[in-house]
Amino acid sequence: MSFLRASDLPTSYVSYDLETTGLGPQAQIIEIGAVRVIDRGEDERFDTFVALDEGVHIEPGAARLTHISEDMLAGAPSVEEAYRQFAEFVGDYPLVGQNIRRFDNAFVNRAARRAQLPSVVQNGCYDTMLLFRKVVGGPANLAAICQYYGIQNEQAHRAWADARATSDCYLAILHDAESLTVEARGADAPVVAHELDGEVVCFTGNTREYPKLMCETLAVRHGALLAHKVSHRTTLLVCLEPHETNNVRRARQLGCPMMAGEEFLGRLGLTSEDLRRR
């Protein structure tokens, strides 16, 4: 699994998806769906059917998958006009999509040529299928990624719904990529013991009895690296208060060991009384 830096991934983008008449090289776009995201927040959506060229028909397999009929495309804009509208919606934002490098981008490029406009693909593209394989690995179709992150997509194989689900998956991948960036806050504190050598420790919660910052500093002084969020690299989650948090749920999902603040201090030969004296 190759390393992915979260800093390389945009937090403002347009997630898009296409539905087409089929999967072959001569297939045509029948629907474009997209969502614009600014600073991780959904801003606006875009959705349009696309009229078929004369003599072109939707393949039976595509009709069954998308539930789009040729009657539904009556009065829709031409592919040239639909692309103009889509390009205006995208603007300068980079694109996010599922399997877009191998499939959707080629259709976008062809539509841009027909409209005699630059292709929005040149804005930069981030493929959730490829990103998921880098961060998590395993099956990486949209359904599998949605299942992994617990994301609902109630209208799968419709462009707008798939674009939104893909955006949710991308943000989850971004979250995971950020959690893989392990850093030792308080690294200026000298290492005085080695009980936690080789451990990547994440803390959740913060109480007067177990102040999070003080516990993190202790972990670093005893040889640990710190993680902001639980990930596959985390070796220990310390729960400083007994609440169900996202980190607790993630640790349980990944099988990451967990312990309470008292047990953590005991591993270092300390007690909460020692914290109060510091």
**pLDDT tens-digit series, residues 80-107:** 999 999 999 999 999 999 999 999 999 9
Residues of the chain above pLDDT 70, percent: 93
pLDDT in tens, 148-172: 888 999 888 899 999 999 999 999 9
User: How far is 25 from 119, CA to CA, in rounded Å?
Assistant: 18
User: How far is 226 from 249, CA to CA, in rounded Å?
Assistant: 18
Copy the structure tokens of residue 158: 């419709």
Q: Map tokens 């349980």 to a residue.
A: 252
pLDDT in tens, 209-230: 888 888 988 999 999 988 888 8
**Higher confidence at residue 138 or residue 185?**
138
What was the pLDDT predicted at 179?
64
